[in-house]
Structure 1
Amino acid sequence: MDTAICLDDLSVNFDDRFHLHHINWTIEPNQHWVITGTNGSGKSALAAVLAGVGDIEQGTLSGVPSRVGLVSFEAQAELIAKELKKDDADIMDVISLGTPVQEMIFEECADPELAADLVEKFGLSHLLDRAFRKLSTGETRKVMLIRALSSKPDLLILDEPFDGLDVDTLAMLQQHLASIIDTTPMVMVLNRFDEMPDFITHVAYLEKTADDCGQLAFKVDRQDKSAFSELYQLLHLKTTDLQVPAPDSASKLPSLDPTQPLVKLTDATIKYDETVIVDKLNWTIEPGKHWQLSGPNGSGKTGVLSLITGDHPQCYSNDIFVFGFQRGNGESIWQIKQFIGYVSTSLQWEYRVSVSCKNVIISGFYDSIGMYSKSTDNQKKIADEWLALLGMKDRADQPFNKLSYGDQRLLLIARAMVKHPPLLILDEPCLGLDDMNRQLVLALIEKICAGHETTVLYVNHHAEDQISGIENYLALEKNH
């Protein structure tokens, strides 16, 4: 491949089943890319575009070489479907035995010597006379790989090439791919970062939009260690099966009545002199019903939150029911606060002590900034599980104040969650974060929303910033 492949504002329709929207991407001749992302984001679709699949609706695709080697489940299924058609008695006068593997590999082979070598290495020599359609799925995939590799492609596209391969075959394939990197640019689709070959230079990350289309969210140079690490964390949070770790039984909060709301504000009003900030707000937060609270500066978001947390001086002049308490009946502020996990930018500013990532999480058991008590073995175990969920297992002993702003925010959310509070308030959790770190925080919030014990209250300026799992919205407006 002598020239760059350019996708310029490209939108592609795949038989109205799926769309890629506004893709901007350049593949230079000396680059090897991995396409990754969430399920349904269009990873395979984007790879297929380079092989000429899909109807271009907008933008341009240029620089794609004429010889493209493609291995994908879709191409595999298409080839098998063609073979099965030969069984159709209405078309054929005789019963077809199907195309033998030998013919499938060697009939249009550009490098028969390489093909023969790969047949032996893939362990297919004894299957050369067998009909292609009689092979197992794994054997069919090996044939597809041999065909693509021996076609002398100017671009090699491999969609999940390592799926279903045994350890020895996987090592052999990786070794062969490494041997052709100077002559053959590669684009791979991979779900797992730990399968990524060392020669990969760049990563493209796709996400599914609200209208179920695919968009290219991030392009990362592997040499950019920081961005690559953040992308790894994002993929880990989006695709891992890990769940929110269980609470510590020794730190268990008192049980709440599940039939009662967590919070109920009745005609809540906040005013200073004659200026009304919040006017007769009625709002009920039921257990398990996640909320997004949005509004511009001065609309009263912070005031409403402080009514809930008990920090506002006008708590007792309002009708407020929280966690089984009617405010003003002798309850202490700590009886209220024990049921709330709270993360804000100001908390992050306050957390300036030099403490390890692991101890930041453990400090959530003690509601402290820093560690001043001896932690239990179970608390340490839970902290390790949170670090694993965040994709930060290898950073347990790193100082909190040496981390990126985004990683600090993730740890503070984990700190707020260790006791599984009935209500987690995230006050502008993405403030000050770049887009990658913002996506990391949102992915963690989605993970928490998918649990059942904690109700999330996500506070931000923009109502259009929507999170999967949050289906209830309250937008405050400026009254003055």
Structure 2
Amino acid sequence: MLTTAISIIDAYINFDERFTLNNINWTVEPSQHWVITGTNGSGKSALAAVLGGVGDLESGSIQGIPTNVGLVSFEAQAELIAKELKKDDADIMDVISVGTPVREMIFDDCADPELAQTLIEKFGLTTLLDRAFRKLSTGETRKVMLVRALSSKPDLLVLDEPFDGLDADTLIMLQAHLASIVDTVPMVMVLNRFDEMPDFITHVAYMDKVQLDKKDNKSNTAVGNLALTIDRQDKTAFEDLYQLLHLKTTDLKIPAAGSSNQLPGLDASQPLVRLKGVTIKYEDTVIVDKLNWTIEQGQHWQLSGPNGSGKTCVLSLITGDHPQCYVNDIFVFGFQRGNGESIWQIKQFIGYVSTALQWEYRVSTSCRNVIISGFYDSIGMYSKSTDNQKKTANEWLELLGMRDRADQPFNKLSYGDQRLLLIARAMVKHPPLLILDEPCLGLDDMNRQLVLALIEKICAASETTVLYVNHHAEDKITGIDNYLALKKNN
């Protein structure tokens, strides 16, 4: 528990020469619980990360931050995954890496093993303790991080989008647990969704990205500014901020793919996807049991289910990325899987967005090239782009409000801006099947409404079938009338 206030006074904080927080003045009292919100790229996650010891203080002062901070964020999650992926580079040691088991991730240096065990049971992680951390789904890895942070006996909890990626039951359970500890530990949350704000939150901080800070003649650094702080009891200010964050973009027009980028035609009489009696299992554990599912052309679907129900596994069967796709009866885009087709013959007809893809997209390439890579289904660019492809990519950047960042490195952008670019990458070729695996994860209200409106326009067109995976009922897409709900096998 905090015994003194956290004070950030006239602080100028640098993050790897790519982003700065400028002239930050902020005080967090021991009895307060905060939400940080704002647009993508404004510095919400950066401000939260400061409380976890991230960033270089160049001027001003920061006082009162405790040594034991429980931190959960997409960036910290991605760092853990990256560390696990690096273990694959152990080839020179002639060692096959199996990855760190969940049990070790949670209980090594655990301050409260009894609480950890209770949370493991509440989060439904008991059967996953001996599985490698990197083999978990996005929601499952987030649960592991939450258990680690909550059982560390923190003096301060910093939770960056703690509810994203969780199914409805888990979200309710987590909110109840956080409400039960409000008197023992102050919390600072980064939230893009105001409707997920817990009742115990006392104050709101709104971040705004102001301009480019020209530190020298060679580089420009994006600057985030703490525009205002609001006591939740100030109803007028709170409602004004809520309205600001719920503005909707209108008159959206999806850029055309261009005649030179047309995909091969498909047989209109055949379904895009047919899964017949599909089963996915690992040893004695059955994830998906005898699933029958047909996706017709022009038929839009929403796929739902709790964490661990097999949603990502089913998607990877369709894309050809799952090893068990060849032992199941799967028909995609005119191909019966296992009859000699290449994975690229399948992938050319698919646009795909997922958190896993974002973790894999670790190359340092420009924002424009990220979008263009969608024409080649590649991570990074390995072919010379055409003038038409560059024109189309520029139109997408204009639509996303990122035209001035066309040549900036993708891996230096905020998490939300990266997700927007990957959605444009998936849509750029107007694929017959667009798979969106929780596309709004990590996006603020403004950008989420933009994404939802774009998906609705795609659904309204006849050339692309949308397969949409989502946990949030309020993010329902007009035009999606077919639903498949997977259940978790016990």
Superposition TM-score, scaled by structure 1 size: 0.49
Question: Which structure is larger by alpha-carbon Rg, 1 or 2?
Answer: 1
Superposition TM-score, scaled by structure 2 size: 0.48
